[in-house]
Structure 1
Amino acid sequence: MATVTRSGMVGVVAGVVRWVGLVFALILAVHVLLTVGNANPANGITTFFATTADWLVLAFKNLFTPENATLRVLVNYGLAAIFWLIATAVLSRLVRRLG
């Protein structure tokens, strides 16, 4: 059985944090793409991404309220995607430093 070093485990945790942020941002970006592309809202794929993105958008959902619904999704969900990328990058670095 291989022994896992502390630095190796810290690297794995930091990597997982980064991947989670990347997946969250990707889900938000796909939702934006489907919205901008006028995807069928009754389609299962569209519903999955819309439901998941609504959970991931956090407080950004109504940050900006332009009258155009597509622009509203583009700006607010796009900002949420950027937030997840930055937040998980910072958290990953913090994990590496504390580890």
Structure 2
Amino acid sequence: MADSTEETAAAPRRTAAEWRADIVGLVAGIVRWVGLVIALILVVHVILVMGNANQGNGITSFFRDWAEPLALAFKNLFTPDDPKLAVLVNYGLAAVFWLVVSTVVAKLIRRLA
């Protein structure tokens, strides 16, 4: 049976550059996933509004409460007469914004690091 120190010595050691690349990849992945989750919350809110979901329901209020601050300045960017259209356009733009920004930031993290 082989000694554990022999196995450790035979295993290739990771360089600092490899560790750094892994950490950068992890951070970029987290940024991308956060953007996706935020966009998903906004899209679900739009779907619930467009589908006339019960506003008193816990699921509907959960997504509405989370979507409000995540929509940033897009909440009232356009003010059409139809409130559903306003939600579709404004929150839809916010979802696209988060997807684009998280993708660009993740690529910048990978490139600059």
Letter in 2 for 1:47: S
1:98, CA displacement in angstroms?
A: 1.4
From 20, 25, 28, the counterpart of 1:11: 25
Partner Cα distance (1:93, 1:34) in 2: 32
Shift of 1:84: 0.1
2:57 is the alignment partner of 1:43? yes
Q: Distance in 2 between matches of 1:72 and 1:62?
A: 8
Percentage of identical aligned residues:
61
Rg larger in structure: 2
> Which ranges in structure 1 are unaligned for 5 or more consecutive residues?
none
Secondary structure, counterpart of 2:76 in structure 1: coil
Aligned counterpart in structure 2 of residue 87 of structure 1, from 101, 104, 112: 101
- The 3-state SS of whatever aligns with 1:5 is helix
Q: Write the deviation string for residues 52-98 of structure 1: whole angstroms up to 9, x where unpaired.
A: 00010000001000010000000000000000000000000110011
Q: Name segments (4+ residues, structure 1) moved above 3 Å.
A: none
Could you say which structure has the greater relative contact order, defined with CA pairs below 8 angstroms and 6 or more residues apart?
1
Provide structure 2 residue ranges, at least 5 long, that are not aligned to the other structure: 1-12
Aligned residues between the structures: 98
